[in-house]
Amino acid sequence: MAGLLNRSLDELWRLVRRIPAGQVISYGDLGKLMKHPATGRVVGRWMAQAPSDVPWWRVVARDGTFPIGKRGPKLSLEQEQLLREEAVPFLNSGRVDISACSWEP
DNA sequence: AACTTGACGTGAC
DNA sequence: AGTCACGCCAAGT
């Protein structure tokens, strides 16, 4: 028996891998897409253990910020840089313009 | 087993 | 537009 947690993790990595370059999705919306929905907070916890082949930087908070910055400022900057390289639109406030580049499966 | 901590979201002010 | 309080719930201590 695989376990519900591991299956959810697999599904999560599958979903994130489907996000095209130049687009983003929020933690909460990602959770809603799963067979057994998870809250944004839980998705965030799981993202911390994302395999290296998962484009974790395309997942942002609902308001277009990087909550990761509170704990790891370095990682936050890396995320912003990666998104800018993909031509993701930013607002003057430094947040991602999520309404202009959100991924819808 | 109890308590704390967040890679979040929402609503109130 | 920016804060804040609160609900959320898996993991860590």
**C-beta of residue A58 within 8 angstroms of C-beta of residue A83:** yes
Distance of alpha carbon A36 from alpha carbon A14, whole angstroms? 14
| Distance measured from the CA of protein residue A75 to the C1' of nucleotide C7, in angstroms | 27
User: Residues 39-58, chain A: which have Cβ under 7 A from strand B?
Assistant: 39-45, 47-48, 50, 56-57
Name the helix (H) or strand (E) containing A80: helix A73-85
Written as one letter, the residue type at A45 is: R
Q: How many CB atoms lie within 10 A of CB A75?
A: 15
| Residue A52, pLDDT score | 94
- Give CA separation, A65 vs A8, A9, A34, A43, in Å: 25, 23, 22, 15
Side-chain-side CA neighbours of residue A53 (13 Å)? 6
> pTM here?
0.93
pLDDT interval class at A72 (50, 70, 90): confident
Phi/psi class of residue A65: alpha, beta or left (left: φ > 0; alpha: ψ in -120 to 50)?
A: beta
pLDDT in tens, A16-64: 999 999 999 999 999 999 999 999 999 999 999 999 999 999 999 999 9
Mean pLDDT value across residues A80-95? 95
| Distance measured from the CA of protein residue A1 to the C1' of nucleotide B10, in angstroms | 37
